[in-house]
Amino acid sequence: MKSETPPVDSVSSIQWTPILAKLEAAKPHLVRAGSVVAQRRPNRSTVWVVRYPVWESGVRHLRSIYLGDVALAGQARSLILQWREEAVPPLDRIKAQVLQLANKVGQLAGLSGRARKRLSCVLKPAMEDPIVLLAMSMGVFPVNNPLIRNGKRRGRRRKSGLW
């Protein structure tokens, strides 16, 4: 009589349980750093592992958690991303979204990459004021400011092309 093989979902859940326990143990390190990477074995097969750094007495050690196949790697990657999103305070998340919005508004306004960088440098200190942050979350940005658009700064003037 043939032994029945368990369904695919139960096999992956059987494999996922010990991996989840190891990931939970390494959660403080994975929130700060670490990634899911593919490793090549000597027999040319590819396996997936989670690599993360651990600092012990001032020395950095790389640790690994063996995952195996692609499905488990996808589950681990999504779990780590979820942990990292939960670790970011809501106000910092809003500030990051405002900077992304400023970049998109700068692209639509026709600003160059350097001008968009100047725009984000101007906005970072301004985001400490809650009213300014609220206005920027609604899309109010100084994209037509000549100091941002042209990059003219105080100090020595530029030399002409003849010099």
79 with 131, same domain: the answer is no
Same domain for 41 and 57? yes
pTM: 0.59
| Tens digits of pLDDT across the chain (163 residues) | 444 544 445 556 788 889 999 999 999 999 999 999 998 888 888 899 999 999 989 899 999 999 988 888 999 999 999 998 888 888 888 888 888 888 888 887 777 788 788 878 878 887 788 787 778 777 777 776 666 766 655 555 666 555 4
The residue from 39, 71, 87 where one domain ends is: 87
Considering the domain architecture, whether residues 74 and 98 belong to the same structural domain is answered as no
Give the Cβ contact number of residue 72 at 10 Å. 19
Whether 13 and 83 map to the same domain: the answer is yes
**Cα distance between residue 2 and residue 24, in whole Å:** 37
Going by DSSP bridges, is the β-strand pair 35-40/59-68 parallel, antiparallel, or unpaired? Answer: unpaired
Give a yes or no: residue 45 inside a domain: yes
Structural domain tally of the chain? 2
Strand partners, 68: 48
Domain-embedded: residue 157? no
End-of-domain residue from the set 72, 87, 102: 87
- Domain with 105, as residue range(s), is 90-149
Q: What is the rounded radius of gyration, in angstroms, for the C-alpha atoms of the chain?
A: 25
Is 1 part of any domain?
Answer: no
Same domain, 112 and 70: no
Q: How far apart are CA 98 and CA 134, in angstroms?
A: 9
- Among residues 57, 87, 117, the one where a domain terminates is 87
CB atoms within 10 A of CB 16: 18
